[in-house]
């Protein structure tokens, strides 16, 4: 099911790790991490020298797909894939794939489709421009300019019609997530930044348990499981917050994340290995997002994860005195996981 990819990334360790987590969320296995100085420049979006090196690595390791952790324009994408003779996607396409995998509600699915079209439109237009200048064959559109213009028109029409449909579904949001998921019981959702440790916590809490079976369920969401020994408590790993998400993707993100509004308890997983300023910035951004999608604060439990590598600059007074319930854990070492588990059971029984 998972496909090997080569992850081409610029920047530091943090950027690289985040890209790795994102690739994994989308179902890829980053088999090769290929570091470059910059992405997005030149005719291929990476330097000629690097492209040659990459092509050799792809062949040597038998990797059939490339992920560029940056943004390439249509021309660069065309030049790069032609040169590598390998399919390539950029970061925004990757994010779209993650949302498409996670979108459950009709509204989220429409929002993701809309974002996909908005991603496509400027790229198609750029292809038109380049082919008119004769810089690039219009191959993908077949017989020429008339077809291309029709294609652009059709994307615009689809965008209009999706906008209308989205308005209609969000006007009647009577939709019940639990019904859709066929879950009867207490549902806990994990939310937080990519890399904060959601999946590690999910795996630890559900160790030994298999994904919940039953066809409609499994196909809808592979990331929801029963807690071991607890017939009626479910936990779900949700789409993570992503840094620097382009404006046109925000609605798709929010409506995909909105599945947590149907949860009985939301665990906000925070990473205490970052410094004070970064911690507070992410914390406030998370709370803002919760407010925007309609998660009420009384069902949020703040999980301070990575306590084993807690940043010394992060003082105890970081605790913004907002009265939120909190627990310190390390999903890696297992520290306080039993305390967390007891808290979850407590919440479930006092619901
Ligand atoms: N040191 C330490 N690392 C952790 C802890 N929890 C998760 N990690 C690491 O943080 C990275 C991201 O974790 P992951 O669960 O994939 O994050 P997600 O993107 O929120 O699902 C992985 O390399 C984990 O091994 C922890 O408590 N301590
Ligand atoms: Mg994860």
Return the pLDDT at 171: 58
Closest atom of ligand 1 to CA, residue 194 = 19
19: domain range? 3-91
In this structure, are 33 and 73 located in the same domain?
A: yes
Does residue 98 fall inside a structural domain?
A: no
Q: How far apart are CA 234 and CA 345, in angstroms?
A: 11
Ligand number nearest CA of 198 is 1
Q: Which contacts of 211-218 are long-range, i.e. CB under 8 A and separated by 24 or more positions?
A: 212/183, 214/182, 216/182, 217/181, 217/182, 217/183
Contacts of 173 (CB under 8 A, 6+ apart): 107
In this structure, are 273 and 247 located in the same domain?
A: yes
Does residue 86 fall inside a structural domain?
A: yes
Q: What is the CATH number of the domain that holds 76?
A: 3.40.50.11060
Number of domains composing the chain:
3
Return the pLDDT at 91: 95
Residue in 8, 22, 9, 13 with CA at minimum distance from that of residue 249 = 22
Lowest mean pLDDT among 7-21, 75-89, 143-157, 322-336: 143-157
Last residue of a domain, one of 171, 190, 220: 171
Residue 178 clears pLDDT 70, i.e. is over it: no
Strand partners, 87: 65
Q: Is the CB of 331 under 6 A from ligand 1?
A: yes
State pLDDT tens for residues 211-232: 554 443 333 456 788 888 887 8
Closest atom of ligand 1 to CA, residue 190 = 20
Q: Is the CB of 196 under 6 A from ligand 1?
A: yes
Last residue of a domain, one of 153, 171, 189: 171
In this structure, are 75 and 128 located in the same domain?
A: no
In this structure, are 244 and 230 located in the same domain?
A: yes
In this structure, are 138 and 284 located in the same domain?
A: no
In this structure, are 148 and 204 located in the same domain?
A: no
The DSSP annotation for 158-201 comes to: HHHHHHHHHHHHHHT----HHHHHT--SEEEEEEEBTTSSHHHH
Residue entry with tokens 């790790």: 17
State pLDDT tens for residues 26-57: 999 999 999 999 999 999 999 999 999 999 99
Last residue of a domain, one of 171, 190, 225: 171
Strand partners, 193: 241
Does residue 97 fall inside a structural domain?
A: no
How far apart are the CA of 201 and the centre of ligand 2, in A?
Answer: 9
In this structure, are 122 and 138 located in the same domain?
A: yes
Does residue 289 fall inside a structural domain?
A: yes
Q: What is the CATH number of the domain that holds 186?
A: 3.40.50.300
Residue range 283-308: mean pLDDT, rounded: 94
Does residue 57 fall inside a structural domain?
A: yes
* Minimal-distance CA residue to ligand 1 atom 24: 197
Strand partners, 188: 235, 265
In this structure, are 192 and 336 located in the same domain?
A: yes
């Amino acid at each position: 099911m998972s496909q090997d990819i080569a992850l081409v990334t610029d920047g530091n360790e943090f950027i690289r790790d985040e890209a790795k987590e994102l690739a994994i969320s989308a179902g890829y296995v980053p088999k090769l991490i290929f570091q470059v100085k910059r992405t997005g420049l030149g005719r291929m979006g990476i330097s000629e020298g690097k492209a040659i090196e990459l092509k050799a690595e792809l062949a040597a390791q038998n990797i059939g797909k490339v992920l560029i952790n940056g943004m390439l324009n249509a021309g660069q994408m065309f030049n790069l894939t032609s040169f590598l003779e390998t399919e390539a996607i950029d970061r925004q396409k990757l994010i779209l794939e993650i949302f498409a995998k996670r979108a459950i509600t009709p509204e989220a699915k429409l929002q993701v489709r809309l974002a996909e079209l908005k991603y496509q439109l400027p790229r198609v237009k750029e292809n038109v421009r380049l082919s008119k200048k004769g810089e690039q064959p219009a191959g993908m559109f077949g017989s020429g300019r008339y077809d291309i213009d029709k294609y652009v028109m059709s994307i615009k029409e689809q965008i209009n019609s999706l906008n209308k449909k989205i308005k209609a579904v969000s006007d009647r949001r009577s939709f019940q997530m639990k019904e859709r998921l066929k879950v009867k019981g207490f549902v806990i959702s994990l939310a937080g930044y990519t890399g904060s440790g959601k999946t590690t916590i999910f795996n630890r809490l559900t160790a030994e348990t298999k994904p919940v079976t039953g066809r409609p369920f499994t196909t809808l969401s592979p990331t929801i499981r029963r807690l071991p020994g607890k017939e009626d408590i479910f936990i779900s790993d949700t789409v993570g917050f992503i840094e620097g998400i382009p404006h046109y993707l925000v609605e798709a993100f929010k409506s995909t994340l909105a599945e947590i509004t149907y949860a009985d308890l939301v665990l906000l997983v925070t990473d205490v290995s970052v410094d004070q300023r970064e911690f507070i910035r992410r914390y406030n951004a998370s709370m803002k997002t919760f407010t925007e999608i309609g998660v009420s604060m009384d069902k949020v439990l703040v999980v301070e994860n990575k306590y084993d590598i807690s940043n010394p600059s992060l003082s105890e007074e970081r605790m913004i005195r907002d009265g939120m319930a909190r627990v310190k854990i390390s999903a890696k070492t297992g520290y306080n996981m039993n305390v967390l588990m007891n808290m979850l059971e407590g919440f479930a029984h006092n619901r």
